[in-house]
Amino acid sequence: MFAIISDGQILGYSELEQGDPPMGVAFGRFVPAEGFDAFVRAVPPDITDGDRVHIWNRLGARTSQGVVLQCAGVCIRYDLKDKHTSEVEVLGISSPPYDELFPHHVEAYDLLFRP
């Protein structure tokens, strides 16, 4: 389980169950933490898609052991009306190495190209 953070505050969690290893991208369902509602009220979204979907960028992610992922960016795509479809994306993961964090993503990708 990965924590999604903003200024040290945990906003929620994700298994980051899907990914694109060559791009260093992992994404998955976003599960809000207890303080997420306060964040939504206090921090305007960077982007809105209609009146339902709010997107926050410039976030961070860390492992369950507290290791911060070095990456190009983290964003939450949060649907105000259907919270079960909310997602988080972690882009351009460089450290720890992608294959250490997500060996199952790498294995699934490699299976696509086996004869």
* pLDDT score of 84: 83
Query: Could you tell me the CA-to-CA distances from 35 to 14, 18, 32, 62 in Å, in that order?
Result: 15, 25, 8, 17
Q: Which domain holds residue 67?
A: 2-112
3-state helix vs strand vs coil in the chain, percent to 5: 25, 40, 35
Q: How many domains does the chain have?
A: 1
What pTM does this model have? 0.89
Encoding tokens for residue 44?
């305007």
pLDDT tens, the chain, 115 aa long = 999 999 999 999 999 999 999 999 999 999 999 989 999 999 999 999 887 889 999 999 999 999 999 999 999 999 888 878 899 999 999 888 999 999 989 888 888 877 7
Overall size of the chain counted in residues: 115
The identity of residue 105, as a single letter, is: H
* Contacts of 56 by beta carbon, 8 Å cutoff, 6+ apart: 6, 43, 45, 46, 75, 76, 78
Q: Taking the CB of residue 66, how many other CB atoms lie within 10 A of it?
A: 7
